[in-house]
Amino acid sequence: MIAPKMFPRRNARILTGIGFLTIAGLMVYKTVGPFESTKNPEALHGPRAKSARDDAADLLTQSPQHLRKQKEYENQILANIQKMSAHKAMQRRMNHDPMGVILHKRPSLLQGLGRVRDMKEQAGSVVQRSVVPENQLKHKIVHLDLKGAPPKVEYFKKLFPLLHSFGATGLLMEYEDMFPYWGKLEFLSAHNAYAKGDIADIIELAKKSSLIIIPLVQTFGHMEHVLKLKEFAELREVPNYPQVVCPTNNKTLPLIKMMIDQVMQLHPGTDWLHIGSDEVYNLGECTRCQQYLLHHQFGKSDLFLHHVRSVAKYVKENYDVQPIMWDDEFRKIPLKAMEDSKVGEVLEIMVWKYSSGIMVDLRSDIWEKYSTVFGGIWVASAFKGAANPDSYITNINDRLSNHKEWMEIFELYKSTIPFQGIVLTGWQRFDHFGVLCELLPQAVPSLAVNLMYINERKADHGALVKVGDMLKCSSFINLDLQYLEYANKCDFPGSAFYEVSQKLYILKRDINTMMKNPHVTGWVSDYNIEHNFVSPQHAEQGLQDLTMLLFDYGKVMNEAETALSDVFDEYTVKEWISLNVKPTHTKLQKLHASISKLQKVKYWPRRPLDSTETKEL
């Protein structure tokens, strides 16, 4: 599908193509018909011009048999065009994702011949949508990464029913420092963490929307929120790095058990607990671990397996709950070591990959190893937060490609692997110390599109229109930021911030275009401004949109603050504005002030510009 502003140019090409083929078809027909003389270009000039025009007029009054044959031929040409376009559309979907979809408007042939198949599918979509595909993934879990930026409980009240309508069956809640730890662990909670009553409300809201909750507790890697603190610094595997806990420290397991106890106390009745343990970058590096490895004749893999099995066993034996763990550390562990550790008796595995190339990175031998060891296997995609650590807007096409690859994996292995379900991760920070990235409200359309694809294996016009209707979008859903021309207007929980994020993206792109204008790069550089040596004419030509962009940017900054306040607390609002809006706004203000000052300059010094004369001026 294509953005509206691209229609006129493409339609012109399509009309030209249809006109050419139709005329060509008539000319071919006339080589065997009564008007053969007109096939000669020379016949349209000179004395015979009138005869040619008469012949052309006769085309409109030829016999019914000729008209019927002509019509049949034209229909045949159009059918071939449609067939060819549908084939190309299929190829595009195999190799590329759509750029967007126009809503509430049935596309005609001239609005994109590549939509022919979509139109046919849309016509029968009511029947098709009611059919649940066989061997569907049972669980479609939405990951809510809450660290350092907790959405308001009131927002969840509006969001959870929508997630259920998208086809979600549960939530993976990664609280981290947003969990209300108490007693000896109260220092693990941020000052703006949820209260115990908030957790109870969240669980009740999820239950009302038929969403199960799987809490996540980090127990090995990514324990920054614990190990950053002075009180727990001694548990670090590497003294200067607060990412990984030391598995051989006698205080480590009691701490982890206490964290699990408190989380489980506030989540009664849950069937799963995710114990994290991904990206354990520093393993077996401290002196204590080195001595432990030497004494037990262990390798680092054995040390890893021993720790995660101990944690999983504690969860399973004390709470009758099934532990789940990220898989990345298991990829490099030999099958025999995993079998000897009996880790598969207490753990289910969650295989994650958020970028392209899943088939390459997760080869068949890895799947064979996992299916041999584990009785339950989950997969994890990403609907947001998997691009750049400072990204503030989600490119849906990238996320859709990730989910398409995962569904290919599912189709390939579903007969041999006990897939439990899929978790659509939505990272809000890359880790505890990372900046905010791709906040939840602006990624709701991405989540909707990808849940739709998982459920129906479709991302065609009909499926996307359905998503647009559910999100109450009025005009257009953009899937590829490369083609974003205007902000999409919708009406779902957090849609105001979705619109603001798009406006900000468009403005930043326009500002970047302005700053790369040759008039600016060649005559209005920082060096020129610093030395009051700017060409007024080039400054006016290059920065003619500066005042307007500065005004629009200030307006978007105010809109962002209002939109964010509907979802997040004041700390998250302030952090996001400081990271994503203020730096550019400040730069524009300084540039505007500098140019306003330089416009008053009427005389300029002789070079060199660093001379005493210049400085005095």
The catalytic residues are 279
Residue with tokens 């005609």: 108
Residue partners of 594: CB distance under 8 A and separation at least 6: 529
CB 402 within 8 A of CB 444: no
Q: Which of 551, 548, 481, 540 is nearest to 509 (CA)?
A: 481
Distance CA 581, CA 512 (A): 14
Bridge pairing between strands 348-352 and 322-326: parallel
Residue 510 DSSP code: H
Reduce the secondary structure of 106-144 to three states and give it as a string.
CCCHHHCHHHHHHHHHHHCHHHHHCCCCCCCCCEEEEEE
CB 288 within 8 A of CB 248: yes
Distance CA 72, CA 397 (A): 40
The two tokens of residue 209 are 């929307």
Distance CA 617, CA 615 (A): 5
**Coil, helix or strand for 396?**
helix
Q: What angle do CA 489, 491, 492 make, to 5 degrees?
A: 125
Which residues make beta-bridge pairs with 419? 377
Distance CA 334, CA 214 (A): 29
**Coil, helix or strand for 376?**
coil
Distance CA 507, CA 307 (A): 50
CB 338 within 8 A of CB 295: no
For the beta carbon of residue 93, count every other beta carbon within 10 angstroms.
17
Distance CA 251, CA 112 (A): 65
Quick one: angle between helices 546-565 and 582-598, nearest 10? Answer: 160
Report cis status (omega within 30 of 0) of the bond before 608: yes
At 373, phi and psi to the nearest 5? -90, -45
Half-sphere exposure of 180 (CA within 13 A, CB side): 11
**Coil, helix or strand for 131?**
coil
What DSSP assignment string belongs to 441-489? GGGHHHHHHHHHHHHHS--SHHHHHHHHHHTT-SSEEE--GGG--S---
CB 218 within 8 A of CB 172: no
Q: Which of 377, 372, 369, 318 is nearest to 347 (CA)?
A: 377
